Structure 1
């Protein structure tokens, strides 16, 4: 299973704690995988319906044939990028495929304002997360010192 987006950073922290290095040939502990699985299930339970609504109806209407095309396009993108050695986000590939298939059907069938908001959110998430992490770290340092 590829849960690297969800569990990869936690596994890296665990490896640093256990061995002092993130390079390891040992298998990931099953409890970490279970923890990640529970987290993914909780996320789907809380936000899954909204994400499916946004991707499957609000961004562009999806039919069975367009759904197949979306899945195929995003899978090919991930496989080709992985073979080239480019790190890609499966989420970004999926949204790109949804927009591309909707655009090919009709340029007016894509909600471009919603796509713009999704696109902006991708760029805002990293700096905001970094600022929150920096604030938490500063708080820890301030409390410890």
Structure 2
């Protein structure tokens, strides 16, 4: 139970700390998103996520909605999407797993050292 509650707290604190920044990046920096475009992106994301859930395919909701928002922006014109911002987002995704693993390994080693020293 403590693991579940810790995960909930970490996700909540992460959203509290950077949630608005993510919303701003997705809705304003990646492409100018109007309400109808946001509705279309969310609907397409929901359909995609339902389809993958039924098929048993694990996907990231963040990756899905980023693709949907980029797609909505590209329907206006390809240059409406700021591809430099998209590149930064992809690099963040690529680096997240190895950096998280390194931080977890370092934390484990530090705790192990403290407990068995």
Aligned to 1:25: none
Q: CA deviation at 1:137?
A: 1.6
Provide TM-score, normalisation by structure 2: 0.86
Matched, 1:104 2:104: no
Work out which of the residue numbers 98, 107, 128 in structure 1 matches 2:99. Answer: 128
Is 1:54 matched up with 2:25?
yes
Q: 1:139 to 1:90 in 2, by over 3 A?
A: same
Superposed CA RMSD: 2.3
Aligned-pair CA distance for 1:38: 8.6
Unaligned runs of 5+ in 1: 1-9, 12-31
**1:119 shift after superposition:** 0.5
Structure ranking higher on relative contact order (CA contacts 8 Å, 6+ apart): 2
Structure 1 runs of 4+ with >4 Å offset: none
Structure label with greater radius of gyration: 1
Q: How far apart, in 2, do the equivalents of 1:119 and 1:38 lie?
A: 23
CA distance in 1, matches of 2:82, 2:110: 41
Residues in 1 aligned to 2:16 and 2:111: alpha-carbon distance in whole angstroms: 32
For structure 2, list consecutive stretches of 5 or more residues without a partner in the other structure: none
Cα distance in 2, alignment partners of residues 107 and 138 from structure 1: 47
The TM-score normalised by the length of structure 1 is 0.70
Query: Shift of residue 139 of structure 1?
Result: 2.2
Alpha carbons of structure 1 residues 92 and 39: separation in structure 2 relative to 1, 3 Å:
closer
